[in-house]
A = this chain, B = another copy of it.
Amino acid sequence: MNFLEERILRDGIVKEGNVLKVDSFLNHQMDISLFEQMGEEFKKRFAGKEINKIVTIEASGIGIACVVAKYFNVPVVFAKKSKSINIEGDMYVAEVESFTHKCKNQVIVSKKFLSPEDKVLIIDDFLANGCALQGLISIITEAGASVEGIGIAIEKGFQMGGRLIRNLGYQLESLAIVDSMNADTKEIVFREQ
């Protein structure tokens, strides 16, 4: 069991409807030392990859991405969520469905900050059905940049996002993959890695 799985068992809260609350250390209150451990681990898992930019999506991906970026010595670009239909022409746009909020958002990145020279590591806190991730991949691909890898803190292994992304051939590294959880017994089962 790794440091993140241990932390999830200690401080994560399983709720009805396959909800895993990790807001005391990951996505509302944020434990920076934990993010540093994640940075070290991602650096190992993506060793040998030539990465010159990290891309994430607002809001809860930003903190992890900025701490992880120190280990790769690269800048971070975060995709912004926007409800407006009138996007200036200098933006890459993707449509993203939110599982949590049950709505559609546009996700935008300025064309200034992604180009064919960019070798991107995508970082995010959660992967469930993968909609946000697909939006990011679509934007990065449209820019002519390459997705060198994807680093996720927690993957819900019982939803289809992870399998889909791996089937597409991407190197997707999730530090903790939850295969099942039970709101009654509070049990969380992680996938062996």
A residues with a Cβ closer than 8 A to B are 23-25, 28-32, 35-36, 58-59, 62-63, 65-67, 69-70, 74-78, 80, 109-110, 112-113
B63 contacts A29, C-beta separation under 8 Å? no
Residues on B with beta carbons closer than 8 Å to the beta carbon of A69:
30, 32
Q: Take A65-B63, A66-B67, A67-B66 as given contacts and tell me if A28 and B58 are in contact as well, using a CB distance cutoff of 8 Å.
A: no
> How many Å lie between the Cα of A30 and that of B66 in the bound state?
8
Residues on B with beta carbons closer than 8 Å to the beta carbon of A77:
28-30
Q: Give how many copies assemble into the complex.
A: 2
Residues on B with beta carbons closer than 8 Å to the beta carbon of A29:
75-77, 110, 112-113
A28 contacts B59, C-beta separation under 8 Å? no
> How many Å lie between the Cα of A49 and that of B160 in the bound state?
48
A75 contacts B110, C-beta separation under 8 Å? no
Majority secondary structure, A binding face: mixed
Residues on B with beta carbons closer than 8 Å to the beta carbon of A58:
58-59, 62
Given A30-B66, A30-B78, output 4 extra A-B contacts at Cβ < 8 Å.
A23-B110, A28-B110, A31-B75, A63-B63
Can you report 9 residue pairs joining A to B where beta carbons are below 8 Å apart? A24-B113, A25-B75, A29-B75, A29-B76, A29-B77, A58-B62, A59-B62, A59-B78, A62-B62
Residues on B with beta carbons closer than 8 Å to the beta carbon of A66:
30, 32, 35, 62-63, 66-67
Of all chain B residues, the one with the shortest Cβ separation from A69 is: B32
